[in-house]
Amino acid sequence: MKAAKAGTKAKAGTKAKAATTATNAKAATNAKAATNAKAGTKSKAATESKAAATTAKGATTAKAAAPRKAPKAESHLAMVRRARRINRELAEIYPYAHPELDFRNPFELLVATVLSAQTTDLRVNQTTPALFAAYPTPEDMAAAVPEEMEEIIRPTGFFRAKTKSLLGLSAALRDEFGGEVPGRLEDLVKLPGVGRKTANVVLGNAFGVPGITVDTHFGRLVRRWKWTDEEDPVKVEAVVAGIFPKSEWTMLSHRVVFHGRRICHARKPACGACPIAPLCPSYGEGETDPEKAGKLLKYEMGGYPGQRLSPPADYPGKPAPALGAG
């Protein structure tokens, strides 16, 4: 009886132990499943987060790669108004604007303008005192010995070609115009070495006949200001003539050239020191830092001598030095 009872207790203990083991195994299985489920959730979240980041990055890249929206095209009327405002601003900045060649009469201006091709006005002004001392009239110049004239004008460059032009135009003035410079464009452009630009310089400044002088400075600036995209000087002249009244043509030419020589340079315009920057669609092509831009200013704007040895009385800068004086 005792043996049977002991067997029963042993059997019961074995069942209890088995039950406990099963329970522990089930708990371990559940814990592992829970851990795996949690890990899977984290992995899924990480994957989704990475995918979202990739999508966002792709969207940003696409946005950056997308072309910028083009600025609204300026109407012709708006351009004309802006151009005329630029002219008014330039008139306040350069009230003393003038032709930067020294001359005392139409003949001297004509000769000086022919000499100014492919050189600076300063070099011409330093050369013409000796030239006009030797040949003060068309008759004197027409009778000059070519080699002697070449030596005088050598500093201006291309002196042989220029000597030929000066001898030819002087002879034409002597023989066809009574030794006087004609006051009509159609007559001036027939003279050797005289083109439309030179003719307009002479007409506007020696005869008071309005004209637009399209030199390299003028052409460069009107294209920067988007007045025209024409390259041909005759076409540029025609376009600009249609924007401004005739009475403004000569002084407009001086103002634009003054600005091109002093501030709006070809290679490195001084944008940060430009008074008309708010009106310029090309602002930023040059130096925009005011202090650095200020160091780029030339002639009287930068505190340096101008190009004329004998500037007008209202010129605020210093006269240029004579040849060999520095």
What is the reported pLDDT for 325? Answer: 80
Catalytic one of 102, 121, 162, 197: 197
| pLDDT tens-digit series, residues 98-138 | 999 999 999 999 999 999 999 999 999 999 999 999 999 99
| pLDDT tens-digit series, residues 26-64 | 444 444 434 444 444 444 444 444 444 444 444 343 333
- Whether 197 sits among the annotated catalytic residues: the reply is yes
Catalytic one of 140, 187, 190, 215: 215
What is the reported pLDDT for 278? Answer: 97
Residue 3 has pLDDT above 60, yes or no: no
pLDDT confidence of 213, banded at 50, 70, 90?
Answer: very high
Q: Specify the DSSP class assigned to residue 318.
A: B
Average pLDDT over residues 201-222: 97
Average pLDDT over residues 148-177: 97
Residue 249 has pLDDT above 70, yes or no: yes
pLDDT confidence of 315, banded at 50, 70, 90?
Answer: very high
Q: Determine what percent of the chain falls in helix, strand and coil, rounding each to the nearest 5.
A: 65, 0, 35
User: Which residue intervals of 74-195 are DSSP H helices?
Assistant: 76-93, 106-115, 121-134, 138-142, 146-153, 159-176, 185-188
> Are the beta carbons of 126 and 309 closer than 8 angstroms?
yes
What is the reported pLDDT for 172? Answer: 98
Residue 317 has pLDDT above 90, yes or no: yes
CA distances from 270 to 152, 160, 219, 263, 288 (A): 36, 37, 18, 5, 7
Cross-strand bridge partners of residue 318: 305
pLDDT confidence of 71, banded at 50, 70, 90?
Answer: low
Q: How many helices (H) and strands (E) does the chain have?
A: 13, 0
What gap in Å lies between CA 50 and CA 108, rounded to an integer? 80
Mean of the per-residue pLDDT values for the chain? 85
pTM here?
Answer: 0.78
